[in-house]
Amino acid sequence: MTLGDTSDDSRHQLASYAVTANHSLGRRYDEPPPAFRSQFQRDRDRIIHCSAFRRLEYKTQVFVNHEGDMFRTRLTHSLEVSQIARTVARALNLNEDLTEAISLAHDLGHTPFGHAGQKALNECMNNFGGFEHNLQSLRVVDRLEDRYPEFPGLNLLFETREGILKHCSPQRARTLGQIGERFRDGTQPSLEAQLANIADEIAYNHHDIDDGLRANLLNLEQLLEFSLFRELYELELQRQRDTDPKRMVQSVIREMLNHFAIDLIKSTTAKLHNIAPRNLDDIRMHTGPIVDFQASVREQHFALKRLLRHELYFHHQVVKNADRAGLVVTELFGAFFSDPSLLPPERVVPEMQDEQLKARHVADYVAGMTDRFAFAEYHRIYGRDPIRVTSVER
């Protein structure tokens, strides 16, 4: 169908293989085209104004919200992902608005308490199809947001929804229709979706260093074990020998992020030159992802992830408290599943008679909680405060 897009990007010409609204697979429910903005700007705006996006302000990135105002939340993480992705998208002549929409929406389905919350909820849902935050993000934009009388969810374009669904098992993909086909036939998503995915990794690698240092769970000696950090730190010493140590580390983190972003642009540009795709179909039919680092920088990327996993994510204090956070989610799910009358009245629906549907309704409710609201619900049900905990992501 013709979507009547005002402009995919009024600032520069998109590449022939970039996604444009005029070649989109469209929305699940037909709508008149927007005035004075593009179709993907409409998607971005709907995401920013939805309730699930606002709740990201009080959802864990690495540290639980109450621990301090300076740590990242899911909201600030999503904004940082969007900034990195838009910069690279512009350099590659891709659709910035689509890239931004995917980046801002990619964590909408995340549970409270980061990875610990997701792991606990997945275990609770083990007999009911499991729980995975990428699938939940798609469920949020397709069904759970209730803002429009004409349709459920946000009615986003196919390409935005495709980018949100980063991972999916072949079995689950069979239940998703067209949006799940690529997980079965091995085709690739758009370059914009590939870019948002890798920008997510770049963002959390670098801001988790910053937050880990703030929490005194990382120190300079540990970071100097990472060769790229050490090289850049030594350059800073040569340029500014008497600078403030904290500012030096911040400078190195910025230079590292810049290093990965620039290589991503150069490496992807070179790969596109070799592949010479004519259109989006050529991108989809290519074997393997195209947006990527060159081999040596990819290894640096993985080395940084390994360092953070060993020194921060598996830090004994973080692991211990992540287990406690998981217990909060487990006990909340168990209480609501055993007695649905504990749910808010609007959450109790006729489908509660079906165990499968009841479990999914409860999982939707628990997954949508912020960290602070999960604490409040725990207190409401059990009459006592849960143990204040830290958590970990990835």
Secondary structure (DSSP) of 210-268:
HHHHHTTSS-HHHHTTSHHHHHHHHHHHHH-TTS-HHHHHHHHHHHHHHHHHHHHHHHH
Instruction: Look at residue 238 in the predicted model and tell me its pLDDT.
Output: 87
* Residue 291 structure tokens: 């947006």
How open is the CA angle 123-125-126, to the nearest 5 degrees?
Answer: 65
Q: CB-hemisphere CA count at 13 Å for 11?
A: 8
* Separation in Å, CA 18 to CA 9, 241, 272, 320: 11, 45, 12, 45
How open is the CA angle 153-204-167, to the nearest 5 degrees?
Answer: 45
Instruction: Look at residue 380 in the predicted model and tell me its pLDDT.
Output: 94
Where do the domains of the chain lie, and which CATH numbers do they carry?
Answer: 39-394 (1.10.3210.10)
* Residue 351 structure tokens: 């489908």
Instruction: Look at residue 268 in the predicted model and tell me its pLDDT.
Output: 98
391, pLDDT greater than 70:
no
Burial class (CB in 10 A: 0-12, 13-18, 19+), 2: exposed
* Residue 232 structure tokens: 């850049």
Instruction: Look at residue 94 in the predicted model and tell me its pLDDT.
Output: 98
Q: What percent of the chain has pLDDT over 90?
A: 74
Alpha carbons 40 and 20: distance in angstroms, whole number: 9
Find the mean pLDDT for residues 250-255. 94
Alpha carbons 293 and 312: distance in angstroms, whole number: 24
Quote the pTM value.
0.92
Quick one: pLDDT band at residue 66, thresholds 50, 70, 90? Answer: very low
pLDDT 10s digits, 115-125: 889 999 999 99
Answer yes or no: are the C-beta atoms of 394 and 115 closer than 8 Å.
yes
220, pLDDT greater than 60:
yes
Find the mean pLDDT for residues 265-280. 97
314, pLDDT greater than 90:
no
Instruction: Look at residue 318 in the predicted model and tell me its pLDDT.
Output: 77
Quick one: pLDDT band at residue 394, thresholds 50, 70, 90? Answer: very low
Range with the poorest average pLDDT among 32-41, 138-147, 239-248, 371-380 = 239-248
Find the mean pLDDT for residues 342-348. 90
Query: Using only C-alpha atoms, what is the Rg of the chain?
Result: 22
- For the ranges 1-15, 57-71, 320-334, the maximum mean pLDDT occurs at 320-334
* Residue 44 structure tokens: 């971005």
127, pLDDT greater than 70:
yes
Alpha carbons 256 and 228: distance in angstroms, whole number: 8
1, pLDDT greater than 60:
no
Alpha carbons 242 and 138: distance in angstroms, whole number: 50
Instruction: Look at residue 291 in the predicted model and tell me its pLDDT.
Output: 98
Range with the poorest average pLDDT among 50-54, 67-71, 96-100, 343-347 = 67-71
Quick one: pLDDT band at residue 313, thresholds 50, 70, 90? Answer: confident
390 Ramachandran zone, left/alpha/beta (phi>0; psi -120 to 50)? beta
What is the distance in angstroms between the CA of the first residue and the CA of the last residue of the chain?
Answer: 40
Answer yes or no: are the C-beta atoms of 312 and 217 closer than 8 Å.
yes
Give the SS3 label for residue 146: coil
Alpha carbons 77 and 80: distance in angstroms, whole number: 5
Find the mean pLDDT for residues 266-293. 97
- For the ranges 15-24, 61-70, 171-180, the maximum mean pLDDT occurs at 15-24
Quick one: pLDDT band at residue 226, thresholds 50, 70, 90? Answer: very high
How open is the CA angle 148-150-151, to the nearest 5 degrees?
Answer: 75
Instruction: Look at residue 63 in the predicted model and tell me its pLDDT.
Output: 58
Q: What average pLDDT is seen over the chain? A: 90
DSSP state of 15: P
Instruction: Look at residue 46 in the predicted model and tell me its pLDDT.
Output: 98
Which residues does 259 contact at the CB level (< 8 Å), separation at least 6?
228, 232, 297
Nearest to 352 by CA among 366, 333, 339: 339
Find the mean pLDDT for residues 316-331. 87
Position of tokens 């409860």? 362
DSSP state of 168: -
Alpha carbons 380 and 328: distance in angstroms, whole number: 13
